[in-house]
């Protein structure tokens, strides 16, 4: 008897469980557009002021 042919079908093992909200190539993080340094610094300063 071929035991490998019995039972349920195996699912894909390498697929991610969910899509990341900021994955490369998505609307929030498109390919080929690096974030400007000034924008990053502005967000970091705003976060630091919000903390203090």
| pLDDT confidence bin for 47, thresholds 50/70/90 | very high
CA 12 to each of CA 17, 34, 49: distance values in angstroms, whole numbers, following the listed order:
10, 33, 46
pLDDT value, residue 24: 81
Query: Structure tokens of 39?
Result: 């924008």
Hey, what are 52's tokens?
């203090």
Q: What is the pLDDT of residues 4-46, one digit of tens each?
A: 777 777 777 887 788 888 788 887 777 877 778 888 899 999 9
**Residue 1 confidence (pLDDT) above 70:** no
Between 46 and 52, where is the model more confident? 46
Per-residue pLDDT at 28: 76
Q: How far is CA 20 from CA 4, 23, 36, 40, in A?
A: 34, 5, 22, 21
């Amino acid at each position: 008897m071929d035991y490998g042919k019995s039972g349920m079908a195996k699912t894909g093992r390498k697929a991610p469980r969910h899509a990341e909200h900021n994955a490369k190539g998505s609307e929030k993080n498109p390919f080929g557009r690096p974030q400007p340094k000034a924008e990053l610094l502005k967000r970091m300063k705003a976060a630091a002021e919000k903390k203090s």
